[in-house]
Amino acid sequence: MTDTRNAMGLTMGLTLGPVLFNWAPETWRDFHFRIADEAPVDTVVVGETVCPKRAPFLEPHLPAVIERLAAAGKAVVLSTPALVQTAREEAMLHDLAEGAGDMAVEANDMAAVSVLRGRPHHLGPGLNIYNEGTLAVLAAGGAARVCLPPELAAGSIGVVARAGRALGVETEVLAFGRMPLAISARCYHARAHGLTKDSCQYVCAQDPDGLDLDTLDGEPFLAVNGVQTLSHACLSLAAEAADLRARGVARLRLSPQTVDMVAVARLFRDLLDGREDGAGVNAALAGLAGGVPLANGFYHGRAGAEMAPPD
């Protein structure tokens, strides 16, 4: 892992999170090949996080993706599903954990935490880690890194990050991408098309950045991705990066979308290296986001969809 220094002379790592959406397998593979070759991130999380039904489509390409990323010097982390419901899905979870070898595994629900207990592992943003007590319990089970939920405000992030440093747990915060808000046993995508979850025909693949939802007044509100609910707005904590590091956060996470993620990664690397400031990065991200508004409201204790100036 190669961290770099930001303008304040403080190190921060840069992680690319798992692809949350149902991209065509070849698209998913080629995306990661390009990340390996061109993106200045030091860690990449791969694997199906949202719907276990999608996992078999990625599995044929997973070894080549891992090999390409590792050859490029990226640390590879395997992601687990955010909701394990059936015996088959539980068996898949055990197979993933047992087959990970030396690779780190990121738990996204308590079933995965249970399976990984006793060995070093990471905690994903799907877990409700809102305070230092919860983190202490999970650290005792082997957690070595935590990516906090995106709805936490700055003060709470600081409390958990300080506790993490005392516990030897590295803290990461989502800094770019649609914010994951909820996971459900129901498939909203299937229902929107008059289908059931069991006969979904994988209609979520029609919306590679999620299916936008509007209010009754026609205002964009949320996005759905199979069984997952996301924000409509695209999170950016570029202007808050220095404040995050001052609060003890060690890493920023970028969540893949169909925008140019290599360009996004370069912007954040320039920010961390002191070659760009938060305002400049936000201006560039607004141009890349394709009309989707940027937001940082949760960080400032406001509505998540708002874009507040840094404190």
Asked whether residue 97 carries a pLDDT value surpassing 80, the answer given is yes
Nearest of 98, 110, 91, 97 to residue 52 by alpha carbon? 91
CATH node for 4-178+233-300: 3.20.20.120
At residue 252, the pLDDT reads: 98
SS3 content of the chain, % helix, strand, coil (to 5): 40, 20, 40
Quote the tokens at residue 235. Answer: 């999170």
What would the mean pLDDT of 51-80 be, rounded to a whole number?
96
Hey, is 46 helix, strand or coil?
strand
CA atoms within a 13 Å half-sphere pointing along the CA-CB vector of 273: 13
Strand partners, 14: 252
Q: List, for residues 135-194, the tens digit of each pLDDT value.
A: 999 999 999 999 999 999 999 999 999 999 999 999 999 999 999 999 999 998 999 999
At residue 291, the pLDDT reads: 85
Our separate counts of H helices and E strands in the chain read: 11, 13
pTM: 0.94
Residues of the chain above pLDDT 70, percent: 96
DSSP 179-248: EEEEE-SS-HHHHHTT--STT-TTGGGG-TT-EEEE-TTS-EEEEEETTEEEEEEEEE-STTHHHHHHTT
Domain boundaries, the chain: 4-178+233-300
Nearest of 149, 94, 93, 100 to residue 126 by alpha carbon? 149
Hey, is 266 helix, strand or coil?
helix
Q: How far apart are CA 279 and CA 240, in angstroms?
A: 10
Q: How far apart are CA 58 and CA 74, in angstroms?
A: 19
Residues of the chain above pLDDT 90, percent: 86
pLDDT-derived band at 10 (thresholds 50, 70, 90) equals very low
At residue 309, the pLDDT reads: 80
Handedness of CA 305, 220, 129, 48 (dihedral sign): negative
- The per-residue pLDDT of the chain, averaged, comes to 93
At residue 9, the pLDDT reads: 40
Q: How far apart are CA 161 and CA 184, in angstroms?
A: 28
Q: How far apart are CA 35 and CA 54, in angstroms?
A: 21
Nearest of 250, 277, 2 to residue 147 by alpha carbon? 250
